[in-house]
Amino acid sequence: MVAADSRASMGGYISSQSVKKIIEINPYMLGTMAGGAADCQFWHRNLGIKCRLHALANKRRISVSGASKLLANMLYSYRGMGLSVGTMIAGWDETGPGLYYVDNEGGRLKGDRFSVGSGSPYAYGVLDSGYKYDMSVEETSELARRSIYHATFRDGASGGVASVYHVGPEGWTKLSGDDVEELHYHYYPVAPAIAEQVMEEATAE
Amino acid sequence: MARYDRAITVFSPDGHLFQVEYALEAVRKGNATVGVRGTDTVVLAVEKKSTPKLQDSRSARKIVSLDNHIALACAGLKADARVLINKARIECQSHRLTLEDPVTVEYITRYIAGLQQKYTQSGGVRPFGLSTLIVGFDPYSRLPSLYQTDPSGTFSAWKANATGRNSNSIREFLEKNYKESSGQETIKLAIRALLEVVESGGKNIEVAVMTREETGLRQLEEAEIDAIVAEIEAEKAAAEAAKKGPPKET
């Protein structure tokens, strides 16, 4: 399950509330964007090209571990030159589901759950407390959505729309995309208040 | 024509690359080599010229592994083979490092063929004087494969093939006698094919086997080979006797 918000900020200015942070590398692999938007977009597209070339040359899809390694090695070769990329590569291959964290220092980690970005600590809190290895798809997508929502609630650089994608053996599908402001009232509905004094409309005199 | 075989980069007027053709001649002088693909076993068998008594035969192995799941045998210039094999072994490990997966047989064959082709299109170098037979099982799918490359850099997949001395007659034999087989049958077919052109006996043949279940290449001991050769001879004798027919009643 992959989820992300959609806010881009330039310092204190919110430059966009509708950024696609989940990048579709190919029909069975997704990448997430955190850090520099341009760097993430460019290198994910570049990774997509490499994956396609691999499939053409070898007549079989590249594995998730292979794809994440290609990206990590590429980023490592630019180490120290100011790239800013914190991404997760999620996909499905012959060995089953795969999730890797890759960053601009060339680090690459395999794991069952990750949270990346400025709002990641908040998301981790919700994610870690709600996670079980054998959750159903519905439970997991709700957990992912809630994690993003809580990150957007507290972190100023996160907001916009919480998108949730599911990656299965047949590829990925988008499950939901909810505006986090609306999600807030969904999770914390406001009970109608009983007013003690009601203002009346002034009658024209 | 004599002027067109000096530098490899030059085509002759009738479209020949003479150096490549001469390399193929070198291959034709090399040891007879046979490869057979079974459903769960792949076999390589190479003719062994008599080893000098003082030579350590283990240092002169003709069938080598490129990785745990891939083996190679070749016919032609053995020194060229060493260079090609070393580069291929490095590529197998490099692929494991960057792609986190072992190579497929087709990938490493393509790599070796690519190397051979490069040396037909560069200045001042000559082609590698060898053809290779590459066998192995792909990772994950565990499908068996047999490929052949030649000095021109072309490669193709085969169910059974031969290269080196008398490869045409061995191939004819294989075409007549090939059927889908597994385990011991595959090994027998490879040895039978090689025995068409090689003096029979365990000390004249080197055989190596790779199966889907075990990892690694298994070199057969001389005694094992002798036993199989004896079986084959017995089968041949029985077939001869059957052909002559039961004694006729007069």
Contact (CB<8Å) B98/A69: yes
Contact (CB<8Å) A66/B140: no
With residues binned 3-state (H G I as helix, E B as strand, rest as coil), the percentages for chain A, rounded to 5, are 35, 30, 35
Determine the Cα–Cα distance for residues A50 and A67; give it in Å rounded to an integer.
8
| Residue reference for tokens 């279940």 | B213
Contact (CB<8Å) B101/A65: yes
Write down the pLDDT at residue B151. 94
Alpha-carbon gap: A65 to the closest alpha carbon of chain B (Å)? 6
Percent of chain A's residues with pLDDT above 70:
100
Alpha-carbon gap: B84 to the closest alpha carbon of chain A (Å)? 21
Alpha-carbon gap: B133 to the closest alpha carbon of chain A (Å)? 20
Non-local CB neighbours of B147 within 8 Å, separated by 6+ positions: B105, B106, B109, B133, B134, B135, B155, B156, B157, B158
Contact (CB<8Å) A62/B99: yes
Q: What is the mean pLDDT of residues B18-44?
A: 94
Backbone φ and ψ for A119, nearest 5 degrees, come out as -90, 10
Write down the pLDDT at residue A202. 83
Nearest CA in chain A to B104: A58
- Mean per-residue pLDDT over chain A, rounded: 92
Which amino acid type is present at position B52? P
pLDDT, one tens digit per residue, over A154-202 is 999 999 999 999 999 999 999 999 999 999 999 999 888 787 777 888 8
**Is the four-CA dihedral A85, A90, A93, A95 of positive or negative sign?**
positive
Write down the pLDDT at residue A138. 95
Contact (CB<8Å) A66/B99: yes
Determine the Cα–Cα distance for residues B103 and B142; give it in Å rounded to an integer.
12
Q: What is the mean pLDDT of residues B131-148?
A: 94
Instruction: Name the token pair of B166.
Output: 């008398």
Quote the DSSP letter at residue A35: B
Size of interface A-B (CB pairs under 8 A): 24
Which amino acid type is present at position A24? E
CATH class of B23-238: alpha beta
Query: Is pLDDT above 70 for B4?
Result: no
Bridge partners, residue B210, by sequence: B42
The full set of domain ranges for chain B reads: 23-238
Contact (CB<8Å) B101/A73: no
Find the CB nearest A69 among B100, B107, B110.
B100
Contact (CB<8Å) A58/B107: yes
Q: What is the DSSP string of B146-164?
A: EEEE-TTS-EEE-SEEEES
Alpha-carbon gap: A109 to the closest alpha carbon of chain B (Å)? 13
